[in-house]
Structure formats: C-alpha cells, structure tokens
Amino acid sequence: MTGHVTAIDCPNCGAGLPVLGGGRVVTKVCTYCGASLDAANGFKVLEVYADLKRPPSPFRLGMTGLVDGIEFTIIGTLGKSERYGGQTWTWVDHQLYSPTHGYAWLTVEDGHTLLTRKVRDWPSGAFLTTRAVDRAETRPVRSWRGRSFTYYAYSNWHTDFVEGEFNWRPKRGAKGATVSLLNNGDDLRMLAYADDGAEREVEVTRYFPEAAAAFGVEPLEPWDVHPLQPYAPLPKTRFNRLWYGGLVAASIGLALFLTVASGPRETLFDGPPSELAAPLTFDVEDASRPVRIGLQQNLQNDWAEFELAIRDPEGVVLAETFRGISYYSGSSGGESWSEGSRRATIGFAPTTPGAYSLAVTPAQGGQPGTMSRSQLRVTVQSGYTRPLWLWLAAGAFGLMFLWALSSKFRHRAARWKGSDWSEDDD
Amino acid sequence: MTGRILTIALSLAVLGGSAYASWYGWGTISRDTGAGSVRTGSAIVGGPGRVRVK
Amino acid sequence: MTQDRTCPNCGAALPPLLAHARMVNCEFCGSSIVLEDDVVRKAGEAGEMLDAAELIGLGRAVLLGDWGQFSATGHVRYDYGRGHWDEYYGQLSSGDMVWVSVDEGDVVIQRPVTERVDGDGSAFRLGAEMTVNGIEYTCTEVSNAKASAFRGQLPEVIVIGETHLYANYIGAGGAALSAERWTEPGAGVQMAWFQGHWIDPFEVRPA
C-alpha cells in the first residue's frame, strides 16, 4: 500500500478528520461542515450538506468493537427514513469496516441493533424489486444457504443524514427501495434486495443485541418486537408455564378427590308414590355441609308434583315446598327430542347433627293414575360436595397456562406484524 | 419479584377458595329452604313463578 | 523433485522449491528470482510488503468455507493507489492449485480459465456482460493496479512495479470472473482470465 493516510484536513472547513476506512472508501462526509468529499479523487468537495441533523444513536465514528471475534470500526453514519400513509419510520445505519472482513452495517432501529452484510451468493430466482412484489400473485419466497425466506415488506427509503466514510457514494436526499424477506426458526435472518437505482445488492441482516456491549456504549432500550428478534421467553413466562400447569393439575386432582369424597348417596324410598306414608328419616352427622335430596321418577310424557317438608331434629321446619318432574319425548321430522327431566333435587343447610325428617306427598300429576304407580326413588346425600368450583378454577388456570404456552406463537405473530403482504391483494 | 409473589398469592387464593367452595358445596342449598325461606308456587296451583309466603 | 538452489544475487540458500515454482523471493537480499529451465536469475526486487492485517498468510493453513483447507505458498500484493488487494497462490486439501484473492473482505477463489475467452478491450467496461464456460457475468469493477510486492513461490512471473488493467465480474450464486490486461514489449496486448467463486470472509477461519 502506498503510504496510508491517517488524517486529512477538510478542504471546505479545515477541520482535521481521521481516515478510518480502507482503500475502497470513495466518499467522506465532514462531520463538522457536511462537505461530501471524493476520497477517490484527492478529497475534492463534491457538495456541501448544510444543516445536517444528527439522528439519535449512541454509536459514533471511530468506535471499534468485535463482531464474531473480528474487530470492526464505525466509519460512517446514515440517517434514513420512510414515510408512508402519514407515518414516518426512522433508523440509523452505521457503516463498519474491518481490513480483513471488509464492510458491514450496524443498524439502530427502535432501540434494536442489527448487523447487515452484503452477500454475493445471491439466492436463485430473479432479483426481487418492488414492482415484482406488486405484480406477484403469491407471496414471494426465496431460498438462501438452505433456508427458506418469505416476503416480509418493502420500504421506499430516503437518506436524511450523511457523515463519515463509505465505500459507495451516499447522498442526502437519495432514495432507494429495499424488498425484505424473513425466515422463521432458531436462526433468524432478513434477506434484503436493495436497489438504489444505480446498484443492486443482496444483504443479509441478523439481530445483533451484543452491539452496545461490543462497541462500549450504554445498552439501548428496545421497544416493540423486531422482526428479527429471536424468541427468548422471559423468566416470568417460564415460571408461569410451570406454575399454572401445576395449578391445573392440582385443581383437577382436588376436583376428582372431592367428587369421590362427597357423602354417600342413601336411598330413603324406592317404590310407587302411592306407598309413601310416614315421613322418611335420615341422619346428618356434619351440620356444616349441605344435604341434597334427590327425587327420580320414570315418567314418560307425563308430569308429577310432590309436596316436600323437611324438619330438623328439633322439629323446626326447614322447608315446606314442592318439586315437579316432567318428561316428554318424541320424534318429529325424523329427529327425536326430549324435554324436561326425570329428576328433581332440593338442597338445604342442616342446623344441627341428628335425625331429620322428610315428608314427600304426591300432589298432582298429568295422569294421576300413572303418576302414582310410576316408580319413585328418593335419595339423600349429606356432606354434599360440589367440585364445579374447582373445575372452574382449573379452567381459569388452564387459560393462563395456554397464554404462557402461546407466548412463542404470539412472538412470531408480533415479528410478522409489520409485513405488508395481504393475501387478498389483486 | 413482587409480580411473581402476587401471582402465587392470588392463584393460591383462587385454588384454596374454589376447594373450600367445592367442599362446602356452595350453590347446593335451594332458595326455598331454611328459616324464613319462601316456596315457589306450583305451576298448576299458584301459577308459574308465583311466590307464596310460608 | 526439489533441488537446492542459491540466490544469484547474494548466494544465500533458497528454500526448497516446489514443483510449480517459477518465481521466488530471496529472504536475505530481497531479490526477485525467476527460474527458467533450471536456471535461476535475478529479475528485480521482491518489493516492500508493508504490514497489514491479513485474512490469509503464507505458512498458515486456513479453512475456506466449503472449499476446505488452503495453504498459501505464494503471495502477491497489488496496489491501486488508495489501497491494495492480496492474491495468494496455494493448494487446497484436494491437491488442486488455486488463486485466492482478498480485497477488504471480498474473498474469491479462482483458477485460470484454460479455454479461449472471447473478450477484447470492450470487456473492460462497467456493466459489460461476459459468458465464460456457460456462466453469465456482469462487470462490476475496472481499475489499474500494479504488483507492488510478492513473497513465497509463484507459478508465473510477476513483474513487480508493472501496471495492469483489471476487471472484476460477478455471476449468479457468487460466481466470480476476473481479467487482467497488459502490454508486453514485443508481444503486444496480453490478457489473462480467472474464474471462480466468492467466499464469505466470515467462513475463512484458521485451520
């Protein structure tokens, strides 16, 4: 190499500028006066950009950092933006240089840091232009290094800020279009077809969260999910999966246990209602839990009503009421139907342990004769449990569990949220 | 950490509460039983839904 | 078979010469020595090889991605004014002899094109299209460069200090073509073509 220059004075403003990049640098833009200099031609002034407004980025020219163990220097900064539908997106591209590994880009977007490299082993298939995407009837797909990439979005960008050195000729106000494709899986990459009107490049971008640490700047605080952001479940999500999974199992287990642990069902009477005479009696040991009385009669297209009277061991009337049973079924239009139920229940809170009485009196029925002859069964269950509440809890915990479990899918959906492909495109 | 403690406390309360409610058979007791309860009227005698004081 | 030789300039022992060697540098006096039919002759100086970060170096094998291990035996540096690129000649583990050029992270593995290439002066133009061995290429760069230094053993004679016109072409899937054009006194315009493939610099690792 013939005498490597390490610094120059800006021919426009006289400021001393370090030379950071290699021999392939063709443009250098003065940090102080915005003069764009022709590095390939004695640093002649090409044009001067007044009032350049530096976009926010913690990275500065001259900073060095390791990328996959290779030292790169930040040699240039571009501020870029895209305007669409009244919205503006902005990001910052820093050109990186390594004498052995060449040029790359470090991008700062929504607090995320990305690394982009130009590749020459282009995917097979035509270069994807924005026009090709507009014409496409199916979502474009490309294969690169054995991985499949699906069309994500295209961007018509605009260069707002230029500073430092570049191995090409960036200009403020320059426009370009990039069509990007994205993959899924463990090793996320974005494949971009970039066209600035003069040159076409294929670039590959990966998520590069190590950038802040590598270049020694304060860690950035990303917002929103970036399309390239790998799925990394938060400790909270991992915990929630285990925790709610465990709770689902616990509530189901308890519900099954309480179903079994419910007080045994005793039959107080089993016969035609006409044989009901004296009040039925039963013992309640635990007065803190409810008692449930069940009536079941095998009626067919009929109904029946029974007067019920429950008395506690001290003779206090706990209920004087009635229960009806009605059951109708048939078929119409080839479909069978049924209405009503052959069962009726009444639950009450016992007042004290001891012997309770239950008077069941047939009151009326649709066809009094049949009704009094149809077999009636009266049962009682004290210490009645109702696992419904545990099943509801299991359901609620199950929803929480599924939510935690679905975080990977939700992450993927968030990554693809910015895609501008819609299937109903004509 | 506070969030996790809250999650644990709240979900254990829900589990405990539903186990308690299930054990004590919440929702089993009919409204027409107990002291001061009212009976619902018969569909035939009193007409549907009519309430008669015991 | 290798033979013991001495430098025609300073008399120092030359390293054992490889079968392909047609040019070698003397490590003691810095001469460039050409071997012609078992005769060694000083051709000039081997040039000054300034220290620079190198992806590939003489005497240390590297892995070139899918191409496997490569051991460079010769190294030429070309200067284009604002910078330089390096060309390494050496052997792949398969035994094939290849050139590998490294230009600020652009790594290309190439072999000389043996068939006749129908390229004249118009091929040395940005955007020019060329088809070589059925592969289509587009010219992406044309520049003048001079060989500024060499080390090791080379299969051809490189005249240090001589300026040639170079053109680089790219094809689909990383295919690469390069051409070199110079005027040889008495022989007129000469051209040499090399065909090969781009290698991702991050896939070049110490073996």
pLDDT digits (tens, 9 = 90+) for A199-254: 788 999 999 999 999 999 999 999 899 999 999 888 889 999 999 999 999 999 99
What CA–CA distances, in Å, run from A296 to A269, A273, A345?
10, 11, 9
C74 pLDDT exceeds 80? yes
ipTM over 0.90: no
A426 pLDDT exceeds 80? no
Q: Whole-angstrom Cα distance, residue A397 to residue A249?
A: 9
Residue A118, SS3 per DSSP: strand
Q: Which pLDDT value is given to residue A197? A: 74
C207 pLDDT exceeds 50? yes
B43 pLDDT exceeds 60? no
**What amino acid occupies position A316?**
V
| % of chain A at pLDDT higher than 90 | 73
Q: Whole-angstrom Cα distance, residue A55 to residue A403?
A: 38
- Please judge whether A70 and C174 are an interchain contact, meaning their C-beta atoms are less than 8 angstroms apart: no
Token pair recorded at residue A382: 């004290």
DSSP state of C14: P
Q: Which pLDDT value is given to residue C3? A: 59
Most confident of A77-81, A126-130, C173-177: A77-81
Q: Which pLDDT value is given to residue C190? A: 87
Beta-bridge partners for C101:
C87, C108
C179, containing H or E segment: strand C175-184
- Please judge whether B42 and A305 are an interchain contact, meaning their C-beta atoms are less than 8 angstroms apart: yes
Q: Whole-angstrom Cα distance, residue A222 to residue A202?
A: 26
Task: Return the exposure string of B33-48: e unless at least 16 CB atoms fall within 10 Å of the residue's CB, then b.
Answer: beeebebbbbbeeeee
A310 pLDDT exceeds 50? yes
**What amino acid occupies position A126?**
A
Q: Which pLDDT value is given to residue C1? A: 43
Q: Whole-angstrom Cα distance, residue A53 to residue A57?
A: 12
Q: Which pLDDT value is given to residue B50? A: 37
**Location of structure tokens 């070589």:** C132
Q: Which pLDDT value is given to residue A58? A: 96
Q: Which pLDDT value is given to residue A239? A: 93
Q: Tell me which residue in A1, A24, A40 faces C50 most closely, judged by beta carbons.
A: A1
A344 pLDDT exceeds 90? yes
| % of chain B at pLDDT higher than 70 | 67
A40 pLDDT exceeds 70? yes
Q: Tell which wins on pLDDT, A58 or C118.
A: A58
**Would you call C161 an interface residue with chain A, using a CB distance cutoff of 8 Å?**
no
Closest chain C residue to the Cα of A199, Cα to Cα: C140
Nearest to A155 by CA among A426, A423, A420: A420
SS3 content of chain B, % helix, strand, coil (to 5): 40, 5, 50
**Location of structure tokens 């592969």:** C135
Q: Which pLDDT value is given to residue A424? A: 62
What CA–CA distances, in Å, run from A161 to A15, A51, A92, A332, B2?
19, 10, 9, 79, 45
- Which of C51, C60, C84, C104 is the best substitution to test chain A (most A C-beta atoms within 10 A)? C104
Q: Give the residue-averaged pLDDT of A280-293.
A: 94
Q: Which pLDDT value is given to residue B52? A: 39
Q: What is the mean pLDDT of chain B?
A: 77
Q: Which pLDDT value is given to residue B45? A: 44
C40, containing H or E segment: strand C39-45
- Residues C134-189 have pLDDT tens digits of 999 988 888 899 999 999 999 988 889 999 999 999 888 889 999 999 888 888 88
Binning pLDDT at 50, 70 and 90, where does residue B41 land?
Answer: low
**Would you call A47 an interface residue with chain C, using a CB distance cutoff of 8 Å?**
no
| C-alpha R_g of chain C | 17
Q: Which pLDDT value is given to residue A5? A: 63
Q: Tell me which residue in C105, C148, C172 faces A98 most closely, judged by beta carbons.
A: C105
| Residues 358-377 in A contacting B (C-alpha not used; CB under 8 Å) | 363-364
- Please judge whether C173 and A121 are an interchain contact, meaning their C-beta atoms are less than 8 angstroms apart: yes
- Chains contacting C (3 or more CB pairs within 8 Å): A
